[in-house]
């Protein structure tokens, strides 16, 4: 039996706006997602996270389900506006109490909390008053918010993630406009990305300088899909590498190497903000581990300037800056999100990170799939999801066998939730949620993962 390392971390993950609900209860301020989802046409069927899975009231029940499933760790995010209703100044003690109770309940269930400080739900006041992630004060506001979280929860939380997927914030929020705050631009994504990196670094320095006695770890989670060259031509190989750098290295090179990729600087010129020497020093080395959210793979080919994809947003960013065409193999199976199921792409993604960043400790902090699950006679037979997890976990084992220091895996998501602009129709969860009754039901894949975790092997 091919086992994972004995100290391998098995977990599952969620985010605050997608599951908590209680959007305006107990002193919580509005977030940009509360505002964005209230605008007609911005989300599927006008759905919002106002109630979501009502985790705010059902967290004890949810933790019992996690314990039954056997997960060793739970990655969740804190809603910034539940701690600081306006993003700054006055602390909401009711919000502190909720997360403190949640953390205590997890520890009592022998589940290790992994806390993400920001998963896209910026306090609305900061967007209106300080220009959101385009504002130069945002990094300081974020560091101050992080400071309070470290102070109040750091005695029990030893694993911190500053930001979840800054690429999504920058490209989908400030570029394509399909996510909050809904801005459309070909230059603002780079400005927002710059502020996000500075915010991450400042929060890490607060943690290391003020809370080293807590003896925890802190890092960042970035997302990236694998890019496979469409052909063996040098042009397509270079296009695939270019796409990976614009997707992932944009945010990880400054942290691991001290600056943006040279390729991006050459292509973008003045469009890409510059780090001062002091900022380069501040940013470099600010992650104790490499957090990766990975879901799918696409082919990459060189764009000669005549493609119909030119000047539009592809799945990897702003295509006019990359000269890359993206495509799928028609034989690949697709999830409900039309994301291709390509386990070998996960292995190649891990190997690319391992080589480029000198063998860092890697945690897959999200991996999963959406399908149109149905509850029939009290059960959900999600064999497609089970097959997805089996394939990707086998790819993870192969990467580990090849020398990649993969230390843990968090399945996305613990339960069906509000899937952002796609609403509730996209079911990613290991537990089926009836959004009328908010009842949770374990799916076939959850029961299978329970066996995987217990045996520490996919061969179950």
Give the CA dihedral 103, 107, 112, 118, nearest 10 degrees: 0
> Which residue's entry shows tokens 């490499």?
290
Residue 449, both tokens: 């993962």
Residue whose C-alpha is closest to residue 79's, from 168, 151, 18: 18
Residue 140, both tokens: 């300081």
* Active-site hit among 241, 279, 366, 419: 366
Q: What is the DSSP string of 251-319?
A: HHHHHHHSS--HHHHHHHGGGS----HHHHHHHTT--SSEEEE---EEEEEE--S-STTTTSEETTEEH
CB 45 within 8 A of CB 445: no
Longest dimension (CA), the chain: 62
> Strand runs (DSSP E) across 353-405, as ranges?
362-366
Sign of CA dihedral 272, 193, 165, 373: negative
For helices 138-153 and 188-210, the axis angle rounded to 10 degrees is 40
Cα distance between residue 15 and residue 81, in whole Å: 14
Cα distance between residue 141 and residue 24, in whole Å: 22
Beta-carbon contacts of 267 under 8 Å, excluding residues fewer than 6 positions away, are: 321, 322
Burial 194-226 (b: 16+ CB within 10 A, else e): bbbbbbbbbbbbbbeeebeebebebbbbbbbbb
The shares of helix, strand and coil residues in the chain, as percent rounded to the nearest 5, are: 45, 20, 40
CB 132 within 8 A of CB 181: yes
Cα distance between residue 387 and residue 366, in whole Å: 17
Tell me the CA end-to-end span of the chain in Å, nearest whole number: 9
Cα distance between residue 432 and residue 186, in whole Å: 38
Which residues share a beta bridge with 383?
A: none
Is there a catalytic annotation at residue 241?
Answer: no
Is there a catalytic annotation at residue 366?
Answer: yes
Q: Determine the length of the chain.
A: 460
* Active-site hit among 20, 47, 105, 165: 165
DSSP 46: G
76 SS3 class: strand
Q: Which residues are catalytic?
A: 165, 366
């Amino acid at each position: 039996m091919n086992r994972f390392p004995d100290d391998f971390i098995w977990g599952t993950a969620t985010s605050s706006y997608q599951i908590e609900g209680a959007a305006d209860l107990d002193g919580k301020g509005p977030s940009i997602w509360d505002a964005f989802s209230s605008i007609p046409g911005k989300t599927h069927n006008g759905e919002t996270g106002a109630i979501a899975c009502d985790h705010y009231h059902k967290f004890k029940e949810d933790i019992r389900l996690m314990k039954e499933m056997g997960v060793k760790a739970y990655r969740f995010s804190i809603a910034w506006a539940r701690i600081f209703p306006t993003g700054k100044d006055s602390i909401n003690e009711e919000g502190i109490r909720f997360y403190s109770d949640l953390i205590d309940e997890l520890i009592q269930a022998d589940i290790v909390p992994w806390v993400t400080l920001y998963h896209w739900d910026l306090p609305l006041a900061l967007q209106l008053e300080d220009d959101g992630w385009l504002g130069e004060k945002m990094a300081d506001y974020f560091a101050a918010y992080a400071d309070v979280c470290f102070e109040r929860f750091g005695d029990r939380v030893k694993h911190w993630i500053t930001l979840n997927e800054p690429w999504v914030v920058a490209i989908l929020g400030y570029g394509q406009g399909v996510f909050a705050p809904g801005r459309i631009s070909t230059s603002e994504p780079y400005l927002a990305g710059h502020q996000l990196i500075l915010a991450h670094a400042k929060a890490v320095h607060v943690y290391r300088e003020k809370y080293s006695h807590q003896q925890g770890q802190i890092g960042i989670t970035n997302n990236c899909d694998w890019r496979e060259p469409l052909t063996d031509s040098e042009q397509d190989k270079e296009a695939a590498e270019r796409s990976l750098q614009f997707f992932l290295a944009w945010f990880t090179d400054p942290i691991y190497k001290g600056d943006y990729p040279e390729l991006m600087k050459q292509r973008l010129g003045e469009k890409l903000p510059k780090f001062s020497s002091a900022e380069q020093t501040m940013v470099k080395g600010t992650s104790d581990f490499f957090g990766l959210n990975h879901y799918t793979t696409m082919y990459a080919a060189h764009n000669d300037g005549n493609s119909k994809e030119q000047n539009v947003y592809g799945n990897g960013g702003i295509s006019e800056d990359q000269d890359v065409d993206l495509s799928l193999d028609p034989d690949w199976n697709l999830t409900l999100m039309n994301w291709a199921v390509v386990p070998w792409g996960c292995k190649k993604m891990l190997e690319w990170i391992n080589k480029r960043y000198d063998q860092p400790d890697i945690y897959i902090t999200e991996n999963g799939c959406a399908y149109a699950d149905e509850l029939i006679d009290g059960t959900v037979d999600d064999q497609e999801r089970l097959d997805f997890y089996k394939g990707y976990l086998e790819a993870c084992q192969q990467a580990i066998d090849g020398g990649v220091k993969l230390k843990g895996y968090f399945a996305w998501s613990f339960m069906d939730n509000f899937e952002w602009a796609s609403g509730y129709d996209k079911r990613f969860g290991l537990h089926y949620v009836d959004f009328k009754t908010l009842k949770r039901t374990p799916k076939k894949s959850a029961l299978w993962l329970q066996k995987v975790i217990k045996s520490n092997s996919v061969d179950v």
